[in-house]
């Protein structure tokens, strides 16, 4: 096996997306669209991968910052796919082997398909191999023209095709394998004498044929895979196909997904066996979920680490948080970034947390805000408790020791602390530190004015 490089074309704007954002950076199943074909090329063994960039070049480039196998080539003016590849060749000077050419807008392409194509290309010692597909409606694509004996003779674009050629159902996917020597020797021979006045990469096929070199077309079994995304309708279709693939692999790994059609799990998420995921959930941004968890309906989990046997109840939102084992959250709870919950913690309905550490076995079961706080073990937070963490300028810390009982409707005006085993009575506003083993109570004494209503009338 020789060495392998790839060129990914991504200089175009993607006008039909009608977006301020370049097409190839639109996210699909948790990655920018272009990251999918790049991953396929990488998994097929390609190094380096040259991205041809033009529109929003900086944004595309920074998407791959730190990736040592990525090189970028600038195409200032988009003069056609042939011109785009010519721009990439400088970044491949000194490279000898096979060059894969892909488009940045084909997120469904799998590395297995690329590997099969490469094998076919190399086994047949071809100069050029193009991946093709048979389409019922080939409109818009380049068509593969074959001679009477079935050999590929050229590709003709929709806008240049005569009525007979327009009947051809075998289309060009825009994915090719080419011998690097052939590519660099012939790329300059491409002209722009065609309907669009563009340099068509596809002209290389006719050039190879004219020179008596082997030029092959390999029809793919799954036409879905080469689907190019041009507008937001196709973006949604591509996302659906990827979602199915992702969900399928989790299910095969032992995760129960009650309704895969309405479960949105991004690429690169880890979920342990025997975890059950109910409909309407979104899970993304590198989340790791342990074994035997139950994630009820309409839960959103982004960038979280969740231990085994956790129970996340309906409609909760979890962001950048860490949960130990056997933690219960929700329904309708909001864990904001920096929440760290120890084993067996219970967070109930309408509880919001932010930047807190909560020790093992502690509970906040109802209607509470805990922000910028450190809570020990076995703390009970009563209904309606609020950490008043913000004075309008700065955020302040609340510290609560082990085995503390906070009654209902308590405000903890930070910075403030409550020592181990203390009890804060319901309705208290805590403004000074509570020592350990104490009772804190601050209430206006109650007055009953008897007969008051009668006098009013």
Catalytic residues: 366
Q: Is 11 in the site for ligand UD1 (CB under 6 A)?
A: yes
Q: Which residue has the tokens 């590395």?
A: 111
Contact residues for Ca ion, defined by CB under 5 A: 427
What is the Cα–Cα distance from 433 to 190, expressed in whole angstroms?
80
- Closest to Ca ion by CB, 99 vs 440, is 440
> Which partner in Ca ion, ligand UD1, none is near 155 (CB below 5 to 8 A by kind)?
ligand UD1
Which entry of ligand UD1, Ca ion, none binds 428, CB below 5 to 8 A by partner kind? none
CA 265 to chain centre: 8
For ligand UD1, the binding residue among 78, 320, 378, 442 (CB under 6 A) is 78
Stretch that binds ligand UD1, among 79-87, 248-256, 397-405, 417-425 (CB under 6 A): 79-87
334-335 and 363-375: which strand pairing?
unpaired
Nearer to ligand UD1, 56 or 214 (CB): 56
Instruction: Give me the count of residues in the chain.
Output: 457
Tell the residue number behind the tokens 């009970």, with chain if given: 380
Which residue among 4, 44, 103, 271 contacts ligand UD1 (CB under 6 A)?
103
Asked if residue 104 binds ligand UD1 (CB under 6 A), the reply is yes
* Residues within window 18-77 making contact with ligand UD1, judged by CB under 6 A: 52, 75
- Residue in 89, 157, 295, 428 binding ligand UD1, rule: CB under 6 A: 157
CB of 8 to ligand UD1, least distance (A): 8
**What Cα–Cα distance (Å) separates residue 216 from each residue in 186, 239, 280?**
17, 31, 45
Residue 181: how many other CB atoms lie within 10 Å: 12
Is residue 417 at the binding interface for ligand UD1, with CB under 6 A as the rule?
no
Is position 170 an interface residue for ligand UD1 (rule: CB under 6 A)?
no
- Determine which residue in the list 30, 37, 48, 174 makes contact with ligand UD1, applying CB under 6 A: 174
Asked if residue 413 lies in contact with residue 433, where contact means CB atoms within 8 angstroms, the answer is no
| Binder among 79, 241, 258, 276 for ligand UD1 (CB under 6 A) | 79
Supply angle C-alpha 103, 216, 152, rounded to 5.
105
Beta-strand relationship, 294-295 and 416-418: unpaired
Q: Answer for the pair 318, 336: CB distance below 8 angstroms, yes or no.
A: no
Smallest gap from Cβ 177 to ligand UD1, in A, equals 15
- State the binding string over 132-151 for ligand UD1 (x if CB under 6 A, else -): ---------xx---------
Residue nearer to ligand UD1 on the CB measure, 71 or 336: 71
79 binds, among ligand UD1, Ca ion, none (CB under 5 to 8 A by kind): ligand UD1
Distance, CA of 164 to chain centre: 43
C-beta contacts of 413-417 below 8 A and 24+ residues apart: 413/388, 414/372, 414/373, 414/387, 414/388, 414/389
Which lies closer to ligand UD1 via its Cβ, residue 79 or residue 241? 79
DSSP code of 91?
Answer: G
3-state SS assignment for residue 421: coil
Residue nearest to Ca ion (CB): 427
User: Which partner in ligand UD1, Ca ion, none is near 427 (CB below 5 to 8 A by kind)?
Assistant: Ca ion
Q: Where are the alpha helices (DSSP H) in 30-140?
A: 35-43, 57-63, 81-89, 111-123
Q: Does 225 bind ligand UD1 (CB under 6 A)?
A: no
- Give the pair of three-digit tokens for residue 281: 């959930």
The encoded tokens of residue 140 equal 């818009």
384 versus 415: smaller Cβ distance to Ca ion: 384
The Cα 71–Cα 88 span in angstroms is 9
Provide the binding-site residues for ligand UD1, judged by CB under 6 A: 9-12, 52, 75, 78-81, 83-84, 103-105, 141-142, 155, 157, 171-174, 200-202, 228
């Amino acid at each position: 096996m020789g060495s392998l490089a790839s060129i990914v074309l991504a200089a175009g704007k993607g006008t039909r997306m009608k977006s301020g954002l370049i097409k190839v950076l639109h996210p699909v199943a948790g990655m920018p669209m272009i990251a999918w074909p790049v991953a396929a090329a990488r998994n097929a063994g390609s190094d380096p991968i040259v991205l041809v960039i033009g529109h929003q070049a900086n944004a595309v480039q920074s998407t791959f910052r730190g990736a040592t196998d990525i090189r970028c080539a600038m195409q200032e003016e988009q003069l056609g796919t042939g011109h785009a590849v010519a721009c990439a060749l400088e970044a491949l000077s000194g490279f000898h082997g096979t060059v894969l050419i892909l488009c940045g807008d084909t997120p469904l392409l799998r590395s297995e398909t690329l590997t099969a194509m490469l094998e076919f290309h190399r086994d047949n010692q071809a100069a050029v191999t193009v991946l093709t597909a048979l389409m019922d409606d080939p409109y818009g694509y380049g068509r593969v023209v074959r001679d009477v004996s079935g050999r590929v003779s050229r590709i003709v674009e929709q806008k240049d095709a005569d009525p007979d050629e327009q009947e051809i159902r075998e289309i060009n996917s825009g994915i090719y394998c080419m011998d690097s020597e052939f590519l660099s020797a012939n790329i300059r021979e491409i002209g722009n004498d065609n309907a669009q006045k563009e340099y068509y990469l596809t002209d290389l096929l006719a050039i190879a044929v004219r020179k008596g070199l082997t030029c092959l077309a390999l029809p793919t079994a799954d036409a879905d895979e080469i689907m190019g995304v041009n507008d937001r309708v196709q973006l949604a279709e591509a996302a659906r196909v990827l979602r199915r693939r992702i969900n399928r692999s989790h299910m095969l790994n032992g995760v129960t997904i009650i309704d895969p059609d309405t479960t949105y799990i991004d690429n690169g998420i880890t979920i342990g066996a025997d975890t059950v995921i109910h409909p309407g959930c979104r899970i993304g941004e590198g989340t790791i979920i342990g074994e035997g968890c139950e994630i009820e309906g309409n839960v959103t989990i982004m960038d979280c680490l969740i231990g085994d046997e956790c129970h996340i109840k309906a409609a909760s939102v979890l962001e950048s948080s860490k949960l130990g084992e056997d933690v219960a959250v929700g329904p309708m709870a909001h864990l904001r970034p920096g929440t760290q919950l120890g084993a067996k913690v219970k967070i109930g309905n309408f509880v919001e947390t932010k930047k807190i550490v909560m020790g093992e076995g502690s509970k906040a079961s109802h209607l509470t805000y805990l922000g910028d706080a450190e809570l020990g073990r076995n703390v009970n937070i009563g209904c309606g408790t609020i950490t008043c963490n913000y004075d309008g300028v700065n955020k302040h810390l609340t510290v609560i020791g082990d085995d503390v009982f906070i009654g209902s409707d308590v405000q903890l005006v930070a910075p403030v602390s409550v020592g181990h085993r203390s009890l804060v009575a319901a309705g208290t506003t805590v403004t000074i530190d509570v020592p350990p083993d104490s009772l804190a109570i601050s209430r206006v004494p109650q007055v009953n004015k008897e007969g008051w209503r009668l006098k009013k009338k």
